[in-house]
Amino acid sequence: MLLEAIPSAVAQWLARILATPGFSCGKVAAQGQTTVTLSLLLAQQPPLSTADFQSVVQDFSRICRGKLSADSLDRYTAQASPGALRAFP
């Protein structure tokens, strides 16, 4: 609901969390392409369905633990509607 109301604020919040010194993503660089892809997916408009959100977060968790390759989230970006994924301001 918050994402639908103020998507730019959510995107900035995600970016700040990932940029926090000491933030750890396990085997994933906190400022790397995988976290950028995660942020774009979570802040996209229209928002992900609940099932897709859960799948994205579960896959990111697996990536962080080294159980999936770093580019595994790319399959979700291929499914996104055109214009849904926007870079952070």
Q: Where are the domains of the chain?
A: 2-79
> Can you give the pTM of this predicted structure?
0.77
pLDDT tops 50 at residue 87: no
Question: Computed over its alpha carbons, how large is the radius of gyration of the chain?
Answer: 12
In this prediction, residue 12 carries a pLDDT of 80
Place of tokens 């940029």: 19
First to last CA, the chain: 21
> Encoding tokens for residue 25?
């993503």
Interval 17-35 mean pLDDT: 85
Higher pLDDT, 56 or 45: 56
Interval 27-38 mean pLDDT: 87
